[in-house]
């Protein structure tokens, strides 16, 4: 062939159809294996990130659990604290964390120790 470059599989002497098919299958298998490894690493990393997120988001305070144990509604707590339902609901759902003064108020109103409203780090 004058001046034209040949594909790799033709240059290396693999000129029959079986050799070309065999090489193509090897490359496809290698490509599939690489993608499989990538997705395994991706999903393991994603599951670790979700576990860490769940730990920090769901583990800040136990106000919701204490309210349920005592059978007290959020609206009652709102009235006693003099705060809006949205603000107290943020505390209960762990979207927002109360200041220490408010946390002590909540503990007094619920008749529990402040430590009972917090999740232990141990």
CATH number belonging to the domain at 61-117, selected among 3.20.20.70, 1.10.260.40, 3.40.190.10, 1.10.3210.10: 1.10.260.40
pLDDT (tens digit, 9 = 90+) per residue, 82-95? Answer: 999 999 999 999 88
Average pLDDT value over all residues in the chain: 81
* Distances from the Cα of 117 to the Cα of 64, 87, 111, angstroms: 9, 17, 11
The ranges assigned to domains in the chain are 8-57, 61-117
CA distance 89 to 95: 8
Name the pTM for this structure.
0.54
Higher pLDDT, 104 or 1: 104
């Amino acid at each position: 062939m004058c001046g034209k470059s040949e594909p790799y599989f033709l240059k290396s002497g693999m000129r029959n159809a079986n050799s070309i098919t065999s090489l193509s299958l090897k490359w496809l298998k290698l490509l599939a294996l690489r993608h499989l490894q990538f997705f395994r690493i991706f999903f393991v990393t994603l599951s670790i990130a979700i576990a860490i997120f769940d730990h920090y988001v769901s583990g800040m305070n136990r106000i919701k659990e204490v309210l349920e144990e005592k059978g007290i509604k959020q609206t009652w707590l709102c009235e006693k604290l003099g705060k809006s339902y949205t603000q107290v609901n943020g505390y209960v759902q762990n979207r927002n964390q109360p200041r220490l003064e408010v946390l002590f108020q909540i503990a007094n109103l619920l008749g529990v120790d402040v430590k009972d409203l917090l999740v232990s780090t141990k």
